[in-house]
Chains A and B, each alone.
Chain A
Amino acid sequence: MATPQLARRSAQEPAAARVVPVRHPGRWVAAVVILVLGAMLVHSLFFSHVVVFGQRRERFEWGVITRYFTSDQVWQGLGFTVALTVVAMVGGIVIGVLLAIMRLSPNPIVTGSAWYYIWFFRGTPVLVQLLFWYNASYIFPTFSLGIPFGPAFVHFNLTTWLPAFVAASVGLSLNEGAYMSEVVRAGLISVDLGQTEAAQSVGMTRLMALRLVVLPQAMRVIIPPTGNETISMLKTTSLASVITVPELTYSVEQIYAANFRPIPLLMVASFQYLWVTTVLMVGQYYLERHYARGSVRQLPPTPIERLRKGLLIRPGRTGFGRFADVEGIPFVKDTED
């Protein structure tokens, strides 16, 4: 470079640089590809037809799906599914907490029994367990209570005392209890041992310490897997259809046995399971937030709060002042009054 040119240049203001935004050609290509795939998906879902043996029909038969989605039989089936899920999870959690506490006991017989229970109920398939409970009277034609190896006082017929729904509830609760016990035990051992020691040093018994100090802290670790188990149980209840519990899957099977449209009806069932799962997921989110208090400095904003915040920071917007201080966002004054 010649020095005089440099000297001349340094005497002037530098020319304004031409600012060119960074090009992202890859993003555009990807966007187009995704849009095309999306369009193909939408077309395949809603606008395409198939011809099988000379018969033309809609690929997904949305008419059939919408007709049966709101039918009485399906809603009743959903009711049974939700009821079975609630019963199985409540039973499962109670049994699970009990078993977890038993596993952490100093008494080897208590620990051992809990271990064998968990081993057996996790080691056999849920479906098989349900079939055993349903057909219990095949093995125990009369079920009696009385003195062991002695006279019996009360006799039960397991078929009468275990109607299908009860058999399914019992089977699912006992099975779920085994899995929940591991979740609860994970939560309990996640709490620092020092907590139990400190609690005992102020005079609490083991059980008091467990109930007042350890369990509340363990909840943070227990809730996410429990939410997972509940969402899973919602679908596991479909196994009860094999033992004639009139839940969602059984109801849908009865409908398509008569109208020969298994695929649309199975999609009806799938969408029903899907929306209930969505509700459960939202519920789990708020439950976790509740138990996260005290563990984080500032709770992160919920999707609703984020939406409000998104609507708020726009010049010219007023009227949402009440929410302006969410997360310490300064109120943006209307400058164009």
Chain B
Amino acid sequence: MTRDWATTRRRAVGALLAPALVVAMAANSYASANPAQLPAKYKSGLSMAMDTTYPPDEFIQNGKIVGFDADLGYAIGEVLGVKVTLHTVTFDDIITKVQEGTYDVGNSSFTDTPAREKKGGLDFIDYFKAGEGFYEGATSKAVFNGLKSLCGHSVAVETGTTEQIDAEAQAKSCHVSVLSYEDQNGANLAVLTGRAQVGFADSQVVAWIVHEHQGQFKLTGTPFKTAPYGFIVAKGSGLAQPLLAAVKALMADGKYKQILDKWGVEQGALSTPGINEATS
């Protein structure tokens, strides 16, 4: 019987390499469990921009940035094997700064909307879902439910949010006085002092604001316009796939649910993350 040396050679090489491959794969563990690799320039760290006036998503406690977006940011860093630094940036400026590369990721409860996807040159990695909700002074008798209920009233929003855009859109068909402030605190103060009759922000934020202000505010109406939150990255930065893979990994091993439960926002859990999944 003549030996087929080519086949033998192939089998020998295979036999030698197989254990090496297994070892290499095991050693890389999380970092190469994702098919999408983090581009080399981000290996030294990822910078995330967030507007830290939005509890429980991102806010400052004892001088440190906390919140479920902050926790998710750090967890993603662990999965990808890079250091994540969080930066406080005015909400309205974050999109531009990410587009220009000043910050790598915008991690600030950005609602993924077709308008933002079209205008931004950005990718949204959807990881959470939230609705929009109203809150008002505790002694207020008015009830607000849905956008149309804003007619004839004044509403406080934060500049650059989807709530601002929705309120302004409603203001085109009936009289709504939209007061927009640089940060959520300004909007809260406006509702407190009666400048605005109602405040308008993301649903879990509204719940937290009401809780934080210990009886000065109350919820009104039910949240509506549920839409996904996305981490934003610039198109062409190569971060979309790695971040998506990282989010999937966190959902798979239960860390995602753990973080959401810790902040009491488990109703916003997304079952499958995606990229640019805005529908409305």
Q: Which residues of A contact B (CB under 8 A)?
A: 52-55, 134-138, 157, 159, 164, 242, 244, 253-254, 256-260, 262-263
Q: Min CB distance, B31 to chain A, in Å?
A: 24
CA separation between A265 and B91, bound complex, in Å? Answer: 17
Q: Min CB distance, B28 to chain A, in Å?
A: 28
* Residues in B whose Cβ lies below 8 Å from that of A52: 99-101, 234
Of B99, B180, B192, B237, which is within 8 A of A254 by CB? Answer: B180
Nearest opposing residue in chain A for B121, CB measure: A55
Flag if A54 contacts B193 (CB, 8 Å). no
Contact with A along B205-218 (1 / 0, CB 8 A): 00000000000000
* Residues in B whose Cβ lies below 8 Å from that of A159: 193-195
* Residues in B whose Cβ lies below 8 Å from that of A263: 96
* Residues in A whose Cβ lies below 8 Å from that of B160: 257
Of A54, A134, A164, which is within 8 A of B236 by CB? Answer: A54
Of A135, A254, A256, A262, which is within 8 A of B193 by CB? Answer: A135
* Residues in A whose Cβ lies below 8 Å from that of B192: 138
6 contacts between A and B (CB under 8 A): A53-B237, A135-B193, A159-B193, A242-B181, A260-B96, A262-B93
Q: Which residues of B contact A (CB under 8 A)?
A: 92-93, 95-96, 99-101, 119-121, 159-160, 164-165, 168, 179-182, 186, 189, 192-195, 234-237
* Residues in A whose Cβ lies below 8 Å from that of B179: 244
* Residues in A whose Cβ lies below 8 Å from that of B120: 260
* Residues in A whose Cβ lies below 8 Å from that of B237: 53
Nearest opposing residue in chain A for B189, CB measure: A135
Closest 8 CB pairs of A and B: A53-B236, A54-B236, A159-B194, A53-B234, A257-B160, A137-B193, A244-B179, A138-B193
18 other contacts beyond A52-B99, A137-B193, A254-B180, with CB at 8 A cut-off?
A: A52-B101, A52-B234, A53-B101, A53-B121, A135-B189, A135-B193, A138-B193, A242-B182, A244-B179, A244-B180, A244-B195, A253-B159, A254-B159, A257-B92, A257-B159, A260-B99, A262-B92, A263-B96
Q: Min CB distance, B123 to chain A, in Å?
A: 11
Q: Min CB distance, A254 to chain B, in Å?
A: 7
Nearest opposing residue in chain A for B237, CB measure: A53
* Residues in B whose Cβ lies below 8 Å from that of A253: 92, 159
Q: Min CB distance, A240 to chain B, in Å?
A: 13
Flag if A262 contacts B181 (CB, 8 Å). no
Flag if A53 contacts B99 (CB, 8 Å). yes
Flag if B193 contacts A260 (CB, 8 Å). no
Given contacts A159-B195, A257-B164, contact A262 B96 (CB under 8 A): yes
CA separation between A223 and B181, bound complex, in Å? Answer: 37
* Residues in A whose Cβ lies below 8 Å from that of B101: 52-53
CA separation between A137 and B189, bound complex, in Å? Answer: 10
Given contacts A53-B101, A137-B194, A159-B194, contact A260 B235 (CB under 8 A): no
Given contacts A159-B193, A159-B194, A260-B119, contact A53 B159 (CB under 8 A): no
Flag if A244 contacts B181 (CB, 8 Å). yes
CA separation between A263 and B180, bound complex, in Å? Answer: 20
* Residues in B whose Cβ lies below 8 Å from that of A134: 195
CA separation between A230 and B120, bound complex, in Å? Answer: 39
CA separation between A171 and B95, bound complex, in Å? Answer: 33
Q: Min CB distance, B231 to chain A, in Å?
A: 16
CA separation between A156 and B277, bound complex, in Å? Answer: 51
Nearest opposing residue in chain A for B93, CB measure: A262
Nearest opposing residue in chain B for A259, CB measure: B119
* Residues in B whose Cβ lies below 8 Å from that of A262: 92-93, 96
Q: Min CB distance, A263 to chain B, in Å?
A: 8
Flag if B195 contacts A258 (CB, 8 Å). no
Flag if B236 contacts A55 (CB, 8 Å). yes
* Residues in A whose Cβ lies below 8 Å from that of B100: 52
* Residues in A whose Cβ lies below 8 Å from that of B96: 260, 262-263
* Residues in B whose Cβ lies below 8 Å from that of A244: 179-181, 195
* Residues in A whose Cβ lies below 8 Å from that of B180: 244, 254, 257
Q: Min CB distance, A71 to chain B, in Å?
A: 16
Nearest opposing residue in chain A for B156, CB measure: A244
CA separation between A137 and B119, bound complex, in Å? Answer: 40
Q: Min CB distance, B102 to chain A, in Å?
A: 11
Flag if B193 contacts A258 (CB, 8 Å). no
* Residues in A whose Cβ lies below 8 Å from that of B194: 137, 157, 159
* Residues in B whose Cβ lies below 8 Å from that of A157: 194
Q: Min CB distance, A76 to chain B, in Å?
A: 15
Nearest opposing residue in chain A for B91, CB measure: A257
* Residues in A whose Cβ lies below 8 Å from that of B182: 242
Nearest opposing residue in chain A for B164, CB measure: A257
Nearest opposing residue in chain B for A57, CB measure: B121
Q: Min CB distance, A161 to chain B, in Å?
A: 12
* Residues in B whose Cβ lies below 8 Å from that of A260: 95-96, 99, 119-120
Q: Min CB distance, B168 to chain A, in Å?
A: 8
